[in-house]
Structure 1
Amino acid sequence: MFAYRLPPLPSIGDILKLYNLDAKKKLSQNFLLDNKLRSKLVCAGGKLKDCHVIEVGPGPGSLTRNIFQQKAFHVHVIEKDPRFLPTLELLKEATYGRLSIHIGDVLKFDMKPLIPEELKREWEGDTPMIRIIGNLPFSISTPLIFKWLEQISKRSDIWCFGRVPLTLTFQEEVAQRMVAHPCHFQRSRLSIMCQNWCEVDHKFVIPGRAFIPKPDVNVSVVYMTPRIKPLIDLDFKLVEKVVFAVFSQRGKYCKRGVERLFPEHLREELVKKLLIVSDIDSTKRPYELSMKDFDRIVHCYAALLEENPTLKKYI
């Protein structure tokens, strides 16, 4: 048995001074020192009691403290910057070993070995007692979320344990794209990809002034739960290819983006066929298309690939 309450520790501000730590711009580091905001962020995804939590980019361990205050059973932190090792080791000692520290790049990190096998749950069942939380560096947030969405689609890495939810921070503009509905000015390929594989909830905005150093933008907290079944139930790379092509001509009629899926000598015939079969108005802009529209487009494109496999190599 262990106590949930942490022993007295120096404040994060004092620790930063003590170890002479500052945020590195090239790593997109920003520290959130406000305890109430940290607690609100950590709680945005629901209760953490007895959960195994993977925290991305803990820095000096400020959010990590709040995770433990919410009675998490064990916390794994993945940190790229080894300068924070002394501060994290201090917290590890205070939590009697319930903190595991991993120095590495989360874009290349395999999270699966961190979690006990007995925590596995059926995909169609309740979410497992595993959570991912992170105050993400802006520079990696979009490539990281695409990597994780692909793993969710394959139920690989940490998602072999079930529908593990995520509570993450993004630039406010990026978060708006993630949740944007048809006709919203921020509707983009990120909107389609996120909403296809996850239920995405934009929780709240943290003003930039709450961070040290202050970023040029506000920060949004987003909660994501993998869907039991994606809205477009096809291979990730296929969906990504079609969505990328359509949004490559975002301000023009969607027909222009669809054209990019086909070689020039077949373009007119196949674009016409795809739009007719999928019942898409060719004068709609990409950001006006619904998830059902994209579902029909991708399925029609998949059928055309079956008829003419050489198209798979195009683009």
Structure 2
Amino acid sequence: MGTIDGLPPLREVIEAHDLVAKKQLGQNFLLDLNLTAKIARCAGDLTGYDVLEVGPGPGGLTRGLLAEGARHVVAVEKDARALPALAEIAAAYPGRLTVLHGDALELDLTAHLKPPVKVVANLPYNVGTELLIRWLSPPAWPPFWQSLTLMFQKEVAERIVAKPRTDHYGRLALLAQWRAEARIVMSLPPEAFTPAPKVHSAVVHLTRLEEPRYPADGRVLARITAMAFNQRRKMLRSSLKGLAPDVEDRLLAVGIPPTARAEEIGLEAFCALARNIAG
């Protein structure tokens, strides 16, 4: 697809603004507007929603979000070279696109968004996981967003949706699935991007739960899972011995065998242990 909105094809935009992707910014551009529109649709109905996008680059996904009916898009771009291209999109969609120049890790993005909000982004590889953890760990729950539709390296996507007793299961899966429904909705090969990365990519869609799946103190749960998975080859009675002097008794009290390893234990059991430790 060359265009969806009367604006130039993305290859022309990149040439006109000299937007060569920079590795140090984690940039890999999607130039096929069919694909960017498909990613936008993975987020569901956008009409009536503000949408936060991080790392729009030349604006392919931005255009998809606007064409799919987003009420207002707030696009955060660190690379000043992309701002003129994004300004052209803003002019084509008057009043519906706000571009913020800066680092998404440092800006207060909620000040620019009105609920309900969805987050849709082809995240820069170098900050994707950190942003996800922040969005899943706000001071108060529920968060400012209703859903997250995010592109990651495929390995990271698999870690988000992983189940116990699988290679990718760990702290990221527990955090994501404690507070959201998470599923992979789309996979993309390296050649879909310019430049082509060395890895496959995947889009994960997370829908927030109004409250965590099982009751637990988030800080206690984070401490337990960090200790357990930082020594994932050890039995839990060893990896968690710093939690409490009677940790074996506490494990048995919530139905976890002390000889089990972290990757064998599901979210519900970890939450039960967190409640036991906190109480």
Please indicate, yes or no, whether the TM-score normalized by the shorter chain is above 0.5.
yes
| Greater share of helix | 1
In the alignment, residue 131 of structure 1 is paired with which amino acid? K
2:126 paired with 1:139: yes
How much does 1:200 deviate?
Answer: 0.5
1:197-240 CA distance string (max 9 Å, x none): 11111112111110011111111100011112212323322211
- The number of residue pairs the alignment matches comes to 277
Which 10-residue stretch deviates more, 57-66 or 224-233? 224-233
Whose radius of gyration is greater, 1 or 2? 1
Partner of 2:270: 294
Partner of 2:18: 20
2:144 paired with 1:173: no
SS in 2 for 1:215: coil
Provide the rounded CA distance (Å) in 2 between the counterparts of 1:154 and 1:58: 28
Gap change, CA 1:241 and 1:287, over 3 Å in 2: same
2:214 paired with 1:216: no
Provide the rounded CA distance (Å) in 2 between the counterparts of 1:179 and 1:63: 24
Provide the rounded CA distance (Å) in 1 between the counterparts of 2:101 and 2:166: 39
Gap change, CA 1:6 and 1:204, over 3 Å in 2: closer
Consecutive unaligned residues of structure 2, counting only runs of 5 or more, are none
Give the 5 Å matches for 1:88-99.
88-99=86-97
TM-score, normalised relative to structure 2: 0.94
State whether residues 231 and 295 of structure 1, in contact with CA within 8 Å, keep that contact through their aligned partners in structure 2. no
Provide the rounded CA distance (Å) in 2 between the counterparts of 1:291 and 1:198: 12
SS in 2 for 1:107: coil
State whether residues 135 and 168 of structure 1, in contact with CA within 8 Å, keep that contact through their aligned partners in structure 2. yes
In the alignment, residue 43 of structure 1 is paired with which amino acid? R
2:131 paired with 1:155: no
2:256 paired with 1:280: yes
How much does 1:95 deviate?
Answer: 0.9
Q: CA RMSD in A?
A: 1.7
Equivalent residue in structure 2 for 1:244, among 206, 209, 226: 226
Partner of 1:45: 43
Provide the rounded CA distance (Å) in 1 between the counterparts of 2:75 and 2:67: 16
State whether residues 189 and 200 of structure 2, in contact with CA within 8 Å, keep that contact through their aligned partners in structure 1. yes
In the alignment, residue 30 of structure 2 is paired with which amino acid? L
Consecutive unaligned residues of structure 1, counting only runs of 5 or more, are 120-127, 304-315
Provide the rounded CA distance (Å) in 2 between the counterparts of 1:107 and 1:300: 34
Q: Percent identity?
A: 34
How much does 1:261 deviate?
Answer: 2.6
SS in 1 for 2:27: coil
Partner of 1:313: none
TM-score, normalised relative to structure 1: 0.84
